[in-house]
Amino acid sequence: MILIKAFKNLMKRLQLCGMTGFLAGLIAGFIIMFIFLIVPGMVLSVKKAVFLSLILAAFDIIVLLFTEYIILRYTVKSIFWGVFFNSILTCFFTVFACKLLNLYYLAGIIGMVIGAIIGILLCRLNYLLQMRMFKQLNQN
């Protein structure tokens, strides 16, 4: 329960986009870890890494859209692009980070960290774009 409380406090700081990235990275990393347990010694070429990222991203998008629609009651239209970009970027960076570091057994943790960072950066980018639009509207 202590660990759950600690992670819950972390989640409160991440907000929705940070948590979306966190979950995308967690799911992707979890799958990568088990793949490399079942097929150890596998050498991942750049082409295979790209394919792996795309397949994991597609899976992440489906799971996250379902979860955020059922649990948080967002409409699919309102969350789709956020989930899409979060999943694509998180899966790519997670796969390539594991490939570069050759730490596939830690893919779960790597995925969580990368996902949270990408989610926070996307939140920030969204905020800056909204502020820019707001300023332009005021000038008009």
Partner 1 sequence: MACIERRPNCGSPLPNADLEPLEDIAAVAAVIVSVVTAVVAVISAIGSITVEGDVITIEIGDFVLTQFGSVAGASVAFITAAIIVGTIILYKVERCNGNTGTRECIAGVVNEVVPDFADTVQTMFPFTAMHNRADMVIKSKFWDAAESGDAYVYCTDVEPPERSIIMRCYFYSSQVCSAMDGAIAGGIIGGLVGTAGGYGLMTAIACAGFFLCLLVLLLVVAVAAIFTLAGAAAGGNIAMASSGNSPAVVDDLPVSVGDYLTVRGHMEQKGYDNGANVIWWVDVGSSSLSGQASSDVPSNPYSYCDLDEDFEEDACNYKQ
Site residues (vs partner 1, CB under 8 A): 3-5, 7-8, 11-12, 15-16, 19, 22-23, 26, 29-31, 33-35, 37-42, 48, 51-52, 55, 59, 63, 67-68, 70-73, 105-109, 112
**23 vs 89, beta carbon nearer partner 1:** 23
Can you give the length of the chain in residues? 140
**31 vs 114, beta carbon nearer partner 1:** 31
**67 vs 81, beta carbon nearer partner 1:** 67
| Least CB distance to partner 1 at residue 100 (A) | 18
| Least CB distance to partner 1 at residue 38 (A) | 5
CA distances from 131 to 16, 48, 68, 123, 127 (A): 19, 39, 26, 12, 6
**Residue of 26, 48, 30, 50 lying closest to 38 (CA atoms):** 30
Amino acid 53 reads: S
Tally helices (H) and strands (E) across the chain: 4, 0
**Residue of 120, 99, 124, 96 lying closest to 10 (CA atoms):** 120
| Least CB distance to partner 1 at residue 12 (A) | 7
| Least CB distance to partner 1 at residue 33 (A) | 6
